[in-house]
Amino acid sequence: MINLNEIEYEKIFKPETISALKGKSGQSLKQMLGNKSLMNTLMSSQQILKEIMKAEAPHRDTLAQIAIDMVTQAYPIIDYANIKIDAKIGNDMDLGAGTSNEIPTEEINVPEALKAKRRIINGVTQGASIRGAFAFYLFREYLDLLDNSLVDKYGEILKQVFGIYDNEDAIAMMLAALEQGQKMAGGKSEMVYDEDTEQFVIKARALCFPMLVHEIVKGLYEIVGTQGFGKDKEQNKAIIGAVDKISNEPRDLQYGKFIYDALNNLYVESNIDDARVRELFFTEVYKLEENKFIEFIENLVNEKLTPAQKKWAMDEMKDIEKDLKKDDTGLEGLDEEVKPYTDIKVTDKYIIREFNENIDPIELMWHRDNEARTIEIIGKTDWKIQLDNQLPTSLNEQIHIPKHMWHRVIKGTGNLKLKIHKK
């Protein structure tokens, strides 16, 4: 049985798991901040935020709607589950009456493993929201119409704001500030259940567009996270009171993205293209008995799932996919894929593929392939490609895409013609 005084990751996971998470955090720090010092990062992020907020001021309502549309598209589970989104950009972080960041701990004896389970789920929620925040590149065409300087600034602010959560000195500084009662939030979100409409509502507020996207995704995963609770409502309140603390967020943001990545990678390995399966699969993982849940997550992070754990996960996702197809069509296997491109030439070794300049950017969805491939541009282009958990990059150089890696094309000007070398 887990023995915790505070619900800290070091007391939840084995040293091997903590070492793996810290190693990934160190790599992330280099990728996000490079050689920038903490002080330079903090000063730079404050300046960029001011520039973003000034540029966004005339377009806040439009940007809020784009954020809603973008997240709804990227996470089709929102429409499937009839989730409503209430999102606004501005300095006002009020989410309405009854909102509270923390719930007082009830005098209820809660097993430590249940608290540990909740802490891990909170970490996944934060991790999912970080990864989801970078999806704004999907709407670059619309954002550029408002202000063509915004997208690059969005990428930079996110790298700096989230990058510091991999810096131990920054975390120590944030914890000290929180202990002194300082507020540091660039956004706020919560999920509520509307009894009148019988639907979940994500309420999100943020200082700028990319942070609003982050908060909306966090709200979505807070809804997913409710599946980790049991039937005892009073016990659930006690768990929230003990675990859902602002002081826990820095570590949740540091480690949670890698736990989310591990779960997401398991979904990727399933070769299931229905994105709704991912969140529904997460709910099944969250329903596991607490000790089995912790063991599953730990083995997953360490890439040591047992054959039985792997089979259970794959079977669950296949069953979810079958149920979704029945819901969508009334029958199984009838969904047809509409492709946003034309294959001009197909051989055993390569494909010549063309995307029309008039295509709706929304049609350029995230996808993956069953074989590795190398992309070679025919001519010159300002179209871009984005690989999973990476920033968009130019297509004017050869791009290697590993097998089963999620990726997407981002629209530029003119037609795009590619030569795809199969591996």
Tell me: the pLDDT tens digits for 344-383?
988 888 999 999 988 877 678 777 777 889 999 999 999 9
pLDDT of residue 202: 96
pLDDT of residue 100: 47
- CA distances to 17, 20, 228, 297, 399 from 14, rounded to whole Å, are 5, 10, 22, 11, 38
Q: 298, 231, 252: which is closest to 119 by C-alpha? A: 252
Is the CB of residue 110 less than 8 Å from the CB of residue 117?
no
Q: Give 280-336 pLDDT, tens digit per residue.
A: 999 999 999 999 999 999 999 999 999 999 999 999 999 999 999 887 765 544 444
DSSP 3-state of 60: helix
In sequence order, what are the residues at sequence separation of 6 or more whose Cβ sits closer than 8 angstroms to the Cβ of residue 134? 155, 158, 389, 391
> What residues are paired with 88 via a beta bridge?
205
Task: State phi, psi for 4 to the nearest 5 degrees.
Answer: -120, 135
All domains in the chain, ordered by first residue = 9-255 (no CATH), 342-422 (2.60.120.10)
**Pair of tokens at residue 338:** 């509409």
Q: 240, 220, 221: which is closest to 230 by C-alpha? A: 240
Distance CA 119, CA 248 (A): 8
Residue 367 is classified by DSSP as B
**Pair of tokens at residue 149:** 């300087």
Of all residues in the chain, the percent with pLDDT exceeding 70 is 92
DSSP 3-state of 385: strand
Q: 381, 408, 394: which is closest to 136 by C-alpha? A: 408
Taking the C-alpha atoms of 211, 217, 219 and 222 in order, what is their torsion angle to the nearest 10 degrees?
-130
Mean pLDDT for the chain? 88
Q: Transcribe 264-297 into DSSP letters.
A: HHHHHHTT---THHHHHHHHHHHTS-HHHHHHHH
**Pair of tokens at residue 11:** 């007391």
